[in-house]
Chains A and B, each alone.
Chain A
Amino acid sequence: MTIWLIVFKSLRQHALSTVVTAFSVALAGGLLMSVWSIKEQSEATFTGVNAGFDAVLGARGSKLQLVLNAIFNLEASPGNLAWSDFLDIQRNPDVELAVPIAVGDNYHGYRLVGTTLDLFEKNEYAPGRKYALQAGGNWFDPKRREAVVGDFVARKMNLKVGDTFHPFHGLIFDEKNQHSETYVVVGVLKPSNTPADQVIWIPLEGLQKMSGHDPKLATEVSAVLVKLKADSALAGFQMDFMYNRQGNRLTFAWPIGTVMAELFAKIGWFNRVLTLVSYLVAIVATASILASIYNSMNERRREIAILRALGARRTTVFTCILLEAASISILGMLAGFVLYGIIFTIVADIIRAQTGVVLDPLKFNIVMLWAPVSLIALGTLAGIVPALKAYRTDVAENLVPIS
């Protein structure tokens, strides 16, 4: 009780340095936890997102670009493939489902994707889960200019069933490139927390034949989403060999998770830099605990001498300083969790707005255990040097005045 009173009083007496030092610990802890947690969760989520498909077939080019374009609605399409290519892979006995998609238009920056109803009616984007419509909506009629809007787009653009809109040409919004066609919103998807939430879905033919598009390309598609049969263990290898090694016209991106893992391997250096920055901040935070308490020792020598003169043991004053360092670290880590929540929420919002992928700040990551424990331990260790100074304080010398 006495020790905690002394610690509390000291923290309060040095409130400014306590707050500044605790903030540096918070910064270190918050950064470390958010960098680590976002890195691991996004890697796990992005490599796990496949919209229910095993592979993407597209024009010859980068597998990563193909997956980013077809699954995550990012990047430009590497090119088109002929309708016959779609029919070929659809007829392949090892393929359970093949869904063509076409891209090339947007509505205020949100991508329009042309597809068939198979995407909604036959495909499970996650085991046991199909895309579903919010109340009052219908799937589009493939022969009409109708659209089903992803939940995120509907909320951002305030689109609801019955609304009409004109698409814009290209993947980047430019108000000068408005198409003349009018589309009617016939349905809004229930939130799926997948990239599908970021898209306006229209009939494949509608996008292919949009005014201003090259009529020669009207039968082509941007990519084909492919689901292999579960009992065809070697099908992926065979098709990989067939399209990527033997052929030179198309690219078969399989498996999607592995392709996405390449992305994280490519940006691994960035994560390492961020982690290194976090470690450096942790070192600076530890040093600042040491410096702030150590620097205050001169003004505290008299106080320590008084405590000792009142009967406090050397170990008592030593423990007080150590607990003070630990308390600053604990306060810092509590604020660190708040900072983590803020950083994670901002980053998760950006990722969700860009990709539709949802990251959960409350999802436990082991860093939430080891980062606070390590920083509190480091902070407490930093208290040893000033604590030793307190331990060695000469009582008589510091009880002024001496006659």
Chain B
Amino acid sequence: MALLEISELKKSFLNPEGFDHKVINVKRFILDDKSHVVLQGESGLGKTTFLHLIAGILKPDAGRITIAGQAMSALSELERDRLRATTIGYIFQAFNLLQGYTCLENVLLGMSFGPGADRAFAETLLRRVGLGEHLKHRPRQLSIGQQQRVAVARALANRPRLVLADEPTGNLDHKNALKSVTLIREVCRENGAALLLVSHDREILSQFEKVQEFGAINNISQEETSL
């Protein structure tokens, strides 16, 4: 059963010269419920923009995104915020943890915009990712790998049906990158969440059963992207 359905999705930005720079042109993309898919592609192809569109952070110029039966385009900004908070978990490449907050507070804050803060579950998640001893540590007191695990816990905190992960291993060394992806997949599986992960690391790609070339689904010609 499809959790995410995308059709005729288009997004362009104005470049400094005032011309339209087409970034996204996806005819059709489907992600099944509880499935784990990796999108591969080189930098600059619009993968982050694609994830932002799915998350409702960006508004498409045209097309349709349906998540768990809800068409994003039909939703108001407020409803999109709500859907993002309750249905989508987002792991950013730069983790985007709030530096003034402890690990636990980062996770609780993510929960508070969704169904509400659940301290016990937040602590369970942080223990699950190996940070039980670091609940009150601030991000800068943690290693990069530990910070990423906080980001994973935060993304899973609202029991989302869809987890988006944008180059989550981009800042990790090879060994930790593999461990990290394994952990993300395990935690997603345990929580019944589908995973759409973006990466161009071949080792990471090899871990997934389903790999899609982003260039194949995003029909932007070379001339268009270079404009």
A interface with B by C-beta (< 8 Å): 1-2, 5-6, 9-10, 12-13, 302-303, 305-314, 316, 395-396, 399-403
- Residues of chain A with a CB closer than 8 A to B93's CB: 401, 403
- Residues of chain A with a CB closer than 8 A to B168's CB: none
Q: How far is the CA of A314 from the CA of B113 in the complex (A)?
A: 12
Instruction: Fill in one digit per residue for B25-61: 1 if any A CB lies within 8 Å of its CB, else 0.
Output: 0000000000000000001110111001001011000
B114 engages A311 (CB within 8 Å): yes
Q: How far is the CA of A6 from the CA of B108 in the complex (A)?
A: 12
A5 engages B109 (CB within 8 Å): yes
- Residues of chain B with a CB closer than 8 A to A307's CB: 98, 109, 113
Instruction: Fill in one digit per residue for B85-116: 1 if any A CB lies within 8 Å of its CB, else 0.
Output: 11000101110111011000100011011100
Q: How far is the CA of A316 from the CA of B113 in the complex (A)?
A: 10
Top 8 closest A-B pairs, CB basis? A311-B85, A311-B113, A2-B112, A13-B100, A403-B48, A306-B96, A9-B100, A395-B57
B86 engages A311 (CB within 8 Å): yes
Q: How far is the CA of A316 from the CA of B93 in the complex (A)?
A: 25
B57, B114, B166, most chain A CB atoms within 10 A: B57
Q: How far is the CA of A6 from the CA of B110 in the complex (A)?
A: 12
Least Cβ distance of A355 to chain B in Å? 53
- Could you list 19 A-B pairs, sorted by A, with CB under 8 Å? A9-B101, A12-B100, A13-B100, A303-B98, A307-B109, A307-B113, A308-B81, A310-B84, A310-B110, A311-B84, A311-B114, A312-B85, A314-B81, A395-B57, A396-B57, A401-B94, A402-B48, A403-B43, A403-B44
B109 engages A2 (CB within 8 Å): yes
Residue B167 interfacial (CB < 8 Å): yes
- Residues of chain B with a CB closer than 8 A to A9's CB: 98, 100-101, 105
- Residues of chain B with a CB closer than 8 A to A309's CB: 55, 57, 84, 90, 92, 96
- Residues of chain B with a CB closer than 8 A to A400's CB: 94
Residue B82 interfacial (CB < 8 Å): yes
Q: How far is the CA of A87 from the CA of B114 in the complex (A)?
A: 91
CB-nearest residue of chain B relative to A400? B94
- Residues of chain A with a CB closer than 8 A to B105's CB: 5, 9
Q: How far is the CA of A396 from the CA of B166 in the complex (A)?
A: 13
B109 engages A310 (CB within 8 Å): yes
CB-nearest residue of chain B relative to A2? B112
Least Cβ distance of B218 to chain A in Å? 13
Q: Which of B51-86 contact A (CB under 8 A)?
A: 52, 55, 57-58, 77-78, 81-82, 84-86
Q: Known contacts A303-B98, A403-B48, A403-B167; is A310 also within 8 Å of B85 by CB?
A: yes
Residue B187 interfacial (CB < 8 Å): no
Residue B6 interfacial (CB < 8 Å): no
- Residues of chain B with a CB closer than 8 A to A305's CB: 96
B100 engages A1 (CB within 8 Å): no
Least Cβ distance of B227 to chain A in Å? 18
- Residues of chain B with a CB closer than 8 A to A303's CB: 98
**How many pairs of residues, A versus B, come closer than 8 Å at their CB atoms?**
81
Least Cβ distance of A72 to chain B in Å? 58
Q: Which of A302, A306, A313 lies in contact with B78, CB distance below 8 A?
A: A313
Report the interface size for chain B: residues with CB under 8 A from the other chain.
Answer: 36
B57 engages A1 (CB within 8 Å): no
Q: How far is the CA of A399 from the CA of B154 in the complex (A)?
A: 16
Q: How far is the CA of A241 from the CA of B110 in the complex (A)?
A: 84
A396 engages B100 (CB within 8 Å): no
Least Cβ distance of A114 to chain B in Å? 72
Residue B117 interfacial (CB < 8 Å): yes
B44 engages A312 (CB within 8 Å): no
CB-nearest residue of chain B relative to A312? B113
Q: Which of B166-218 contact A (CB under 8 A)?
A: 166-167
Q: How far is the CA of A1 from the CA of B111 in the complex (A)?
A: 12
- Residues of chain A with a CB closer than 8 A to B43's CB: 403
Least Cβ distance of A236 to chain B in Å? 71
Q: How far is the CA of A313 from the CA of B80 in the complex (A)?
A: 9
Q: How far is the CA of A312 from the CA of B113 in the complex (A)?
A: 6
Known contacts A310-B109, A395-B58; 15 additional CB pairs below 8 A are A2-B109, A2-B117, A13-B100, A306-B97, A307-B109, A307-B113, A309-B92, A309-B96, A311-B82, A311-B85, A311-B114, A399-B94, A402-B48, A403-B43, A403-B167
A403 engages B90 (CB within 8 Å): no
Q: Known contacts A9-B101, A312-B113; is A399 also within 8 Å of B85 by CB?
A: no
B110 engages A402 (CB within 8 Å): no
Q: How far is the CA of A312 from the CA of B109 in the complex (A)?
A: 10
CB-nearest residue of chain A relative to B155? A310
Q: How far is the CA of A255 from the CA of B27 in the complex (A)?
A: 96
Q: Known contacts A311-B85, A311-B86; is A2 also within 8 Å of B52 by CB?
A: no
- Residues of chain A with a CB closer than 8 A to B45's CB: 403
Q: Which of A2, A302, A316, A399 lies in contact with B57, CB distance below 8 A?
A: A399
Q: How far is the CA of A319 from the CA of B173 in the complex (A)?
A: 40
Q: How far is the CA of A402 from the CA of B13 in the complex (A)?
A: 13
- Residues of chain A with a CB closer than 8 A to B78's CB: 313
- Residues of chain B with a CB closer than 8 A to A312's CB: 81, 85, 113
Q: How far is the CA of A244 from the CA of B82 in the complex (A)?
A: 84
Least Cβ distance of A163 to chain B in Å? 66
A1, A303, A399, A400, most chain B CB atoms within 10 A: A399
Q: How far is the CA of A313 from the CA of B82 in the complex (A)?
A: 8
B81 engages A399 (CB within 8 Å): no
Least Cβ distance of B8 to chain A in Å? 21
CB-nearest residue of chain A relative to B95? A306
- Residues of chain B with a CB closer than 8 A to A311's CB: 81-82, 84-86, 110, 113-114
- Residues of chain B with a CB closer than 8 A to A316's CB: 113
